[in-house]
Amino acid sequence: MLFQDLLFRLDRYWAGHGCVIAPPADTEVGAGTFYPTTFLRALGSAPWRVAGLAPSRRPADGRYGDNPYRFQFFYQYQVVLKPSPEGVQQLYLDSLYALGIDPKAHDIRFVEDNWESPTLGAWGLGWEVWMDGMEITQFTYFQQVGGFDCRPVSVELTYGLERLAMYLQGVDHAFDVEYAPGVTMGDLRRDFEVQHSRYNFEDSDPELQRTLFDAFEGEANRLLQLDLVYPGYEFVLKCSHAFNLLDARGVLSHTERQGYVQRVRRLAEATARAYLEARGELAPAANGEA
Amino acid sequence: MADLLFEIGTEELPSWYVQEGSAALARLLAERLAAAEVPAARLTAYATPRRLAVLAEGLPAASAVREDELRGPPAGVAFAEDGTPTRAALAFAEKNGVGVEALERRDTEKGSYLYARVRRGGEPTAALLPGLLAQVVKDLPAPRKMRWGTQETPFLRPIVWLLALLDDQALELEVAGVRSGTTSRGHRFLAPEPFAVESPARYVAQLQDAWVLADRAARREAVAEGLARVTADAGLEPYQDAELLDEVTDLVEWPFPVLGAFDDSYLELPEEVLATVMIRHQRFFPTRARDGRLAARFVGVSNNRVADEAVVRRGYEKVLDGRLYDARFFWRSDRRKSLSQHAWGLSGIAFQKELGSMADKTERVGVTAGLVLGALGLGADTASVVEKALPVFRADLATEMVYEFPELEGVMGRAYALAEGQPTEVADALLGGVRPRTYDDDVPATAAGAVLSLADRLDKLVGFFALGKRPSGSADPFGLRRDGLAVARVLASRGWKIPLDTLVGAALVAYADAAVPVDEQVQHEVVDFVWDRVAALLQERASVPVVRAAIRGSRSVIGAARRVELLRALTQREEFADLMALFKRAANLATKAEETAEVAPALFREAPEAPLHAALARARDGVHDLLAAAEAQLPAWDLRAGPPQALSGVGQASSEVVSLKGPLDAFLDGVLVMAEEPAVRRNRLALLNEVVTVLRLLGALEELEGIEQ
């Protein structure tokens, strides 16, 4: 199955279960969880279902394209169901059927894996899903986001699409996956990966990133005070990416790193508060840390 | 009599909770049934990754009937002058569900009161249970519960179904939006349809037909058997790891062992690395060839019986290959640098904000280790090994392998040291220096390793105590109790008689130039803290007073441990309790001595004085013999367990000690210690003082006051 067919099938499957198939965000994010369609929509009481390709960036994970599994830019497939429905595990297993994987023919396991994002002030409980020993999906019931309790609880499914495709196509490197007829993932991403790996590790300008971080942080705070939640949150994401670039460059001491994490977290919490306030859903008692 | 079956079906529980949750459920249910006066005759717990269940047999049909007499208001306020009941009487009657005419008036010592006779209980068990079971689900203790959907009732993982059956009767309850029924579910893939459970007694058998081994012990046995079978078929032996066996047992509802292989070339990696990758990352069992060496085969335990096992096997092999590929990459890349080059990297790894980097720390450890070596008077051999190990001690922290597999710290230090041609003793010291990491971990195997381990732990304790970051209550975020335990165990395992305060003092010296102020107060606190850990270990062997007496009478850990063994032996003798009572009287009197004086037999005036003096000489010999025997027979052991052999052949010496009882008794009864004549009085006090001093060599015996034999 071509990589793009994988996307089509997942889109179709989850659309059939009431999900909006949303286009990816156009700001750099570390994971689908940072998307406004996940982070913000997980807050508050309104039901929500969204799915779609979620390209993500983790500068420190770059390996110049050498490692078959690790990249600084990669494709996740992100599903958020709010509230988490009954029988969501079966719903997920059925999505594997849709991809041509018969769970009955494999050893599929839900192995405890709890998730926490210090920069988002978010945590959840759930599993990593193993297929014949390989981790193919993260499965998380959000308990808190932006420091606020999630009511109702959303469930987030994050497919490791590249691994699944490697498995289905029987290839050993994500770049050997056939994306479209005659076009491999490597054709699409190799140069991008190599150059960004070099940029992240060798040629990024740490002083510029520090300056940018400070500027983005100031702007995020200013916008959030003007109740401009979405623009404000974009600057939070920019802060997060600047921090990730500094981290990848290896220029942060342990303490400094903690400091940056705290600063992003404060912004994420401020965003969550502003979002809930704008919706008239800010229940002070719901947040112990507010 | 009725049998109850209660099953909580869930989405996959964390494997560590399966056993814990099952025990907790049985305990809680037993407690609640007893409190509701419907106790079970027998409780059996069942658990798999997708269910916690209890079979409670022999429940009474109804709760026990009890008649209670409840006291109400004083008669004086219960009735108006015309004899009609007041509001107080009416309210009391109503509250207890009886008519006001049924209230009885009774005269007691405290006055006249109204009483109600109330019958309680007699409620049918079937009516009691739904509410009780629902509350049990809500109250089930668990460390980290979660919410899901729109439900507010938290549980470990979402509840999928509830099964509540009293004999053949369905019990109706609802928790977290789930209504109970009489159906259970089998294996997720092999028997996915819900099925009706015919009776509580049939539960386990029906589940077995549905590919679920609900009895955890049976499932564990099945995992072990399957493992033994597939390895034996291949001429191999399974690698024994009880923790892995437990974890795997709680990751499956029915085990299907799959034998797989990896490329022989990975065998160039140290065995610990191979085993760690297989066990920690994939939950695979390594295997050994008949010659005892690790084989290039492993066993994965699948939760599914599939049509084509090769699919699962290939999946396992591929994932493991990826992991081993990484490990070999680290192994090769790490060795491009020497350990001393890796040691430079320690300056980039934080130890603790205010205490500097790991490089700062190992520098301090070097100073402490030198002082400890000196204080212990260890030979030049050990000193030279420590000296060679120090520059690369914990350098493996800076390697990629340890970054990826933190549990291999020390193991990699040893492996890289051997690979670069360091002497075995030095390599062993690098491993020993980080041991024991946990209670289950072994103490360092060599003296040099022990010196490093002590210096490293003491540095941490002193540093964190100086920062005021000591553990409080159950909170011990920096694992300092584990470090204290390690110090205690390492010291005793070597039999080193070094006083604790000397040892802690050595670590203090290393902080002389540090930014953090350390002083005697810190030293006292750390010493006390370690003694508390020693006490915790020794309390596995003896009662609190005995342990306290041994510790307060000792300066070294091994001394305290030996005294515990001695006192265990002595307290078994009948006369010892009497001797302790006399010791206490003697000790009280002895405090009256204004100055120390030698005992002068010439000043004896009364008959019991000379015999006590003579007995004291024998007792002193006895005490010295006991201490010598303990030192000779119990040279050293790891306090995690008792000494390897019991103290023996101390009957004679103990008799000499307890034989002090008669003469001391006679002396205390027949002699006026506080005699008129100052010289005589001083002499008698001196004699008692001697008695106390001699006996106290065995420990701070005043702690034993009131001790049960």
pLDDT greater than 60 at residue B709:
no
Q: Look at residues A273, A272, A208 and name the one whose alpha carbon lies nearest to residue A241.
A: A208
- CA distance linking residue B586 with residue B606, whole number of Å: 17
The C-alpha of A219 sits at a distance from chain B's nearest C-alpha, in angstroms, of 31
CB contact under 8 A, B350 and A255: yes
CA B57 to chain centre: 32
Q: Please give the residue that has the higher pLDDT: either B707 or A258.
A: A258
Contact of A14 with A21, CB cutoff 8 Å: yes
Mean pLDDT of B636-660: 90
Is the bond into B477 cis (omega within 30 degrees of 0)? no
Mean pLDDT of B383-395: 96
Distances from the Cα of A270 to the Cα of A37, A78, A239, angstroms: 17, 24, 14
Contact of B699 with B535, CB cutoff 8 Å: no
Mean pLDDT of B188-194: 96
Residue B312 is nearest to which of A107, A125, A167, comparing CB atoms?
A: A107
For residue B621, the model assigns a pLDDT of 94
The reported pTM is 0.80
CA B111 to chain centre: 54
What residue segments make up the domains of chain A, in order of their start? 3-185, 201-286
Instruction: Using DSSP bridges, classify how beta strands A48-57 and A20-21 pair: parallel, antiparallel or unpaired.
Output: parallel
Q: Which of A132, A141, A144 to mutate to test the interface with B (most CBs of B within 10 A)?
A: A132
Mean pLDDT of A34-45: 96
- CA distance linking residue B234 with residue B318, whole number of Å: 20
- Token pair 């702007």 is found at A219
The C-alpha of B310 sits at a distance from chain A's nearest C-alpha, in angstroms, of 10
Q: Does the CB of B320 have a partner CB in chain A at under 8 Å?
A: yes
* SS3 assignment, position B410: coil
pLDDT greater than 90 at residue B522:
yes
Torsion of CA B700, B701, B703, B707, to 10 degrees: 150
- CA distance linking residue B108 with residue B111, whole number of Å: 5
CATH number of A201-286, picked from 1.10.3720.10, 2.60.40.790, 1.20.58.180, 1.10.10.60: 1.20.58.180
CATH number of B2-62+124-209, picked from 3.30.70, 1.25.40, 3.30.1120, 1.10.3210: 3.30.70
Q: Which tens digit of pLDDT belongs to each residue from A114-125? A: 999 999 999 999
pLDDT greater than 80 at residue A284:
no
For residue B77, the model assigns a pLDDT of 84
The count of other CB atoms within 10 Å of the CB of residue B673 is 19
Distances from the Cα of B387 to the Cα of B425, B426, B449, B621, B687, angstroms: 11, 9, 11, 43, 51
CB contact under 8 A, B306 and A105: yes
- CA distance linking residue A52 with residue A12, whole number of Å: 10
Distances from the Cα of B451 to the Cα of A187, B408, B486, B534, B583, angstroms: 57, 20, 12, 18, 40
User: Which string of b and e fits A96-111 if b means at least 16 CB within 10 Å?
Assistant: beebebebbebbbbbb
What residue segments make up the domains of chain B, in order of their start? 2-62+124-209, 71-120, 216-334, 350-377+418-538, 548-704
Residue B353 is nearest to which of A111, A124, A255, comparing CB atoms?
A: A255
Contact of B378 with B451, CB cutoff 8 Å: yes
Q: Look at residues B308, B621, B593 and name the one whose alpha carbon lies nearest to residue A102.
A: B308
CB contact under 8 A, B189 and A104: yes
For residue B353, the model assigns a pLDDT of 75
CA B375 to chain centre: 32
Tokens of B12: 């996959």
Largest CA distance in chain B: 107
Q: Which tens digit of pLDDT belongs to each residue from B199-233? A: 999 999 999 999 999 999 999 999 999 999 999 99
Categorize the per-residue pLDDT at B326 as very low, low, confident or very high, splitting at 50, 70 and 90. Answer: confident
Close Cβ partners of B602 (under 8 Å, ≥ 6 residues apart): none
In the DSSP assignment, the letter for residue B61 is: S
For residue A289, the model assigns a pLDDT of 43
- CA distance linking residue A44 with residue A282, whole number of Å: 8
pLDDT greater than 50 at residue A290:
no
Mean pLDDT of B688-705: 90
Residue A153 is nearest to which of B49, B148, B308, comparing CB atoms?
A: B148
Read off φ and ψ for residue B154, nearest 5 degrees: -85, 155
DSSP states of chain A: --HHHHHHHHHHHHHTTT-EEPPPPSS--SSGGGSHHHHTTTSSS--EEEEEEEEEE-GGG--TT-SSS--SEEEEEEEEEESPPTTHHHHHHHHHHHTT--GGGS-EEEEE--EEETTTTEEEEEEEEEETTEEEEEEEEEEEETTEE-SS--EEEEEEHHHHHHHHHT-SSGGGSEEETTEEHHHHHHHHHHHHHHIIIII--HHHHHHHHHHHHHHHHHHHHTT-HHHHHHHHHHHHHHHHHHHHTT---HHHHHHHHHHHHHHHHHHHHHHHHHTT---GGG-TT-
**Weakest mean pLDDT among B348-362, B426-440, B475-489, B612-626:** B348-362
Q: Look at residues B531, B432, B439 and name the one whose alpha carbon lies nearest to residue B482.
A: B439
Tokens of A48: 């929500």
Q: Which tens digit of pLDDT belongs to each residue from B20-56? A: 999 999 999 999 999 999 999 999 999 999 999 999 9
Categorize the per-residue pLDDT at B515 as very low, low, confident or very high, splitting at 50, 70 and 90. Answer: confident
Mean pLDDT of B342-355: 85
Categorize the per-residue pLDDT at B531 as very low, low, confident or very high, splitting at 50, 70 and 90. Answer: very high
- CA distance linking residue A15 with residue A17, whole number of Å: 5
Q: Does the CB of B423 have a partner CB in chain A at under 8 Å?
A: no
- Identity (one letter) of the amino acid at A276? L
- CA distance linking residue A224 with residue A228, whole number of Å: 5
Q: Which of B20, B148, B314, B319 to mutate to test the interface with A (most CBs of A within 10 A)?
A: B148
- Give residues 334 to 353 of B whose Cβ lies within 8 Å of A: 350, 353
- CA distance linking residue B250 with residue B12, whole number of Å: 10
A-chain residues near B284 (CB < 8 A) = 133
pLDDT greater than 90 at residue B415:
yes
Categorize the per-residue pLDDT at B545 as very low, low, confident or very high, splitting at 50, 70 and 90. Answer: very high
CB contact under 8 A, B146 and A143: yes
State in words which class domain A3-185 has: alpha beta
Close Cβ partners of B464 (under 8 Å, ≥ 6 residues apart): B352, B355, B470, B478, B480
Q: Which tens digit of pLDDT belongs to each residue from B95-131? A: 888 888 888 888 888 888 888 888 888 899 999 999 9
Q: What is the CA radius of gyration of chain A?
A: 19
Q: Burial level of A275, CB count in 10 A (0-12/13-18/19+)?
A: buried
For residue B707, the model assigns a pLDDT of 46
Q: Is the dihedral of CA B400, B401, B404, B408 positive or negative?
A: negative
Tokens of B679: 């010289």
Mean pLDDT of B280-288: 95
Mean pLDDT of A40-64: 95
Is the bond into A83 cis (omega within 30 degrees of 0)? yes
Average pLDDT, chain A: 93
- Beta pairing partners, B42: B57
CB contact under 8 A, A133 and B316: yes
pLDDT greater than 80 at residue B303:
yes
CB contact under 8 A, A132 and B312: yes
For residue A254, the model assigns a pLDDT of 65
